[in-house]
Amino acid sequence: MTRRKFTPKFKTKVVLEALKEQHSLAELAQKFETHPTHISAWKHDFLDGAEQVFELGKNDARSEAEKDKDKLLKAIGQLKVENDFLKDALR
């Protein structure tokens, strides 16, 4: 028997349903074809990590985006230099 792997997206969907408290854990487990213990653990992990969402400031997210942009621009520059070099070599 193979172990099932649940995606973070699936776990989030299940946890959000559990947080609504419109259905019991048993009902949710049956609906999503998993064990109630999994749902409880995912809910606990989700709530423990929720404060991290607010700890990350907008500056942190922007600096990460800027780092990624700089990295990509550097790669583009390198590729342009290599492309120009190869064009000159073919002449």
Residue 43: closest CA among 13, 88, 22: 13
Q: Which domain CATH number covers 31?
A: 1.10.10
* 9-65 pLDDT tens trace: 999 999 999 999 999 999 999 999 999 999 999 999 999 988 877 776 666 666 777
For residues 12 and 37, state if they share a domain.
yes
Tell me the pTM: 0.59
CA dist 77 and 82 (Å) reads 9
Cβ-contact 35, 15 below 8 angstroms: no
Cβ-contact 25, 40 below 8 angstroms: yes
Residue 64 token pair: 């990460």
- pLDDT of the residue at 8: 93
For range 63-76, the mean pLDDT: 88
- pLDDT of the residue at 61: 61
For residues 49 and 62, state if they share a domain.
no
For residues 65 and 50, state if they share a domain.
no
Question: Residue 37 is part of which domain span?
Answer: 1-55
pLDDT at 67 over 90: no
- pLDDT of the residue at 56: 63
Task: Please count the other Cβ atoms lying within 10 Å of the Cβ belonging to residue 64.
Answer: 11
